[in-house]
C-alpha cells in the first residue's frame, strides 16, 4: 500500500521507541520528526512513520539536486533487499505539530520501507534510523551522505545479536581508544577483525582489553592469547565497570572519538555495528560510569600473568578464567607518553 499523507509531531530521541511501541499496539497512523528543532533543515527533515498495517518507514527530505542524484544511486546499486528497500516518493504531505504550531509541507523524499513483522528487528531498525538521521543532519556533502547510506545498509542487513558480553567488551575497548593522546593511533591500533587475537595492535606494542562488571578482577583468556609469542611489549588493560543511568554508552564514546578526530570514522562505526549486531537498542541502554572505570583501570604485563602451561598438541582449543587482582600491575606513569590519565569529554 502507498501512504501519501502523514500526521507528525516532535518527539525526543529518548522517547521514540516508547512512543512507537505504544502506537504499534493502538494501530494508529503517525509519524515522528526525529531531528530536534535546532537541526531542522540541515539538510532536511527526517521522519519515522507507522502505517495502519503495522508497516514501518523511514523518510528523509533532501535538497532537490541531492534527490535527483540519489534516485540514480538507487537505480545503479539496486537498493532492494528481503526486509527493506529504498525509493524516492513525490508530493508527500506532512502536517507537523510543535506545541500549538502546525506546519504543512509537501515534498519529495527518500523512503526506506521495512517489510518485517518481527518486533525485535523492527526495534533494531528504529534504533539504526535514529542514529542515521542524527548523522545526516550534520553533513553538507553528497558523498558523505552516500557513505552514511552504505554504512546503514550494511548494518540493516546484520542478522546476529552481539549480546551483553560483546557490548561490555566493546565499551571497554572504545574507552581505551579514548585514552590515547594520539586518537588516530589508538583507533588505527584497534584491530579490524573480531577474530584477531588481541584488541589493539601497533608496530610498537600490543594491548588486550579486558573488562568485568564484577568486583573480582578475573578475566577469560583464550588459548591463542595464553600461548602468544611476540617480541613486542604486550599489556592487558583491565577495567572494572559499573552500570549507571548517568553514564555513557558505546555510541557516546564513539561520538567523543569522532570529536577528537575532527571527523566521523565510518570504519569505526561499521565495526561497532558488526560487534553489536541487532542489539543496538540494548547497547544504547547500557551505560557505564566513566570515573569508576578510570579509577579501577589497571595495566598488567601480559607475559607475567599466571597462565597455565599447556602444550599438548591434542588440545586444540581452550579458555581459562584467570584471577589477576593480586598480580603486580604496571605504574600508569610508565604509559604517560601514550595515554591520558582519563578520557577528555567534550560537550
pLDDT digits (tens, 9 = 90+) for 211-261: 999 989 999 999 989 988 888 999 999 999 999 999 999 999 999 999 999
pLDDT at res. 29: 42
Asked if 192 and 272 count as a contact pair (C-beta separation under 8 A), the reply is no
For residue range 4-13, list pLDDT tens digits in order: 666 565 555 5
Higher local confidence (pLDDT), 197 or 345: 197
How confident is the model over 29-41, as a mean pLDDT? 39
Which candidate, 61, 53, 46, 52, places its Cα nearest to that of 16? Answer: 46
DSSP assignments along 251-307, one per residue? HHHHHHHHHHHTS--HHHHHHHHHHHBTTHHHHHH--E-HHHHHHT-EEEEGGGS--
The CA-based angle 234-237-243, given to 5 degrees, is 160
Q: Who has greater pLDDT, 153 or 27?
A: 153
Confidence of residue 35 (pLDDT cuts 50, 70, 90): very low
Helix (H) or strand (E) holding 121: helix 119-136
Is the whole-model pTM more than 0.75? Answer: yes
**Residue 80 DSSP code:** B
pLDDT at 28: 45
The pLDDT-based confidence of 121 (bands split at 50, 70, 90) is confident
pLDDT in tens, 300-339: 999 999 998 888 888 888 889 999 999 999 999 999 999 9
Amino acid at each position: 500500500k502507498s501512504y501519501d499523507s502523514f500526521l507528525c509531531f516532535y518527539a525526543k530521541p529518548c522517547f521514540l521507541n516508547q512512543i512507537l511501541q505504544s502506537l504499534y499496539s493502538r494501530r494508529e497512523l503517525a509519524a515522528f520528526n526525529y531531528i530536534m528543532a535546532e537541526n531542522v533543515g540541515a539538510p532536511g527533515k527526517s521522519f519515522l512513520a507507522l502505517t495502519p498495517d503495522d508497516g514501518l518507514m523511514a523518510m528523509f527530505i533532501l535538497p532537490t539536486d541531492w534527490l535527483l542524484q540519489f534516485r540514480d544511486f538507487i537505480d545503479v546499486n539496486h537498493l532492494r533487499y528481503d526486509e527493506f528497500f529504498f525509493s524516492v516518493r513525490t508530493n508527500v504531505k506532512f502536517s507537523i505539530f510543535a506545541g500549538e504550531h502546525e506546519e504543512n509541507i509537501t515534498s519529495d523524499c527518500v523512503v526506506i520501507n521495512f517489510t518485517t513483522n518481527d518486533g525485535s528487528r523492527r526495534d533494531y531498525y528504529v534504533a539504526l534510523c535514529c542514529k542515521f538521521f542524527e548523522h545526516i543532519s550534520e553533513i553538507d556533502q553528497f558523498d558523505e551522505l552516500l557513505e552514511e547510506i552504505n554504512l546503514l545498509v550494511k548494518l540493516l542487513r546484520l542478522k546476529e545479536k552481539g549480546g551483553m558480553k560483546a557490548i561490555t567488551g566493546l565499551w571497554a575497548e572504545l574507552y581505551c581508544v579514548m585514552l590515547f593522546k594520539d586518537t588516530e593511533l589508538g583507533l588505527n591500533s584497534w584491530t579490524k577483525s573480531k577474530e584477531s587475537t588481541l584488541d589493539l595492535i601497533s608496530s610498537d606494542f600490543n594491548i588486550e582489553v579486558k573488562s568485568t562488571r564484577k568486583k573480582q578482577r578475573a578475566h577469560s583468556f583464550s588459548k591463542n592469547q595464553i600461548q602468544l609469542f611476540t617480541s613486542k611489549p604486550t599489556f592487558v588493560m583491565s577495567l572494572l565497570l559499573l552500570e549507571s543511568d548517568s553514564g555513557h554508552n558505546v555510541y557516546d564514546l564513539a561520538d567523543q572519538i569522532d570529536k577528537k578526530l575532527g571527523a566521523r570514522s565510518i570504519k569505526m562505526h561499521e565495526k561497532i555495528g558488526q560487534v553489536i549486531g541487532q542489539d543496538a537498542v540494548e547497547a544504547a541502554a547500557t551505560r557505564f560510569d566513566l570515573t569508576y572505570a578510570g579509577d579501577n583501570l589497571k595495566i598488567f604485563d601480559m607475559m607475567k600473568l599466571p597462565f597455565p602451561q599447556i602444550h599438548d598438541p591434542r588440545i586444540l582449543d581452550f579458555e581459562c578464567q584467570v584471577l589477576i587482582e593480586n598480580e603486580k600491575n604496571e605504574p600508569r606513569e610508565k604509559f604517560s607518553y601514550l595515554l591520558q590519565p582519563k578520557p577528555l569529554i567534550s560537550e
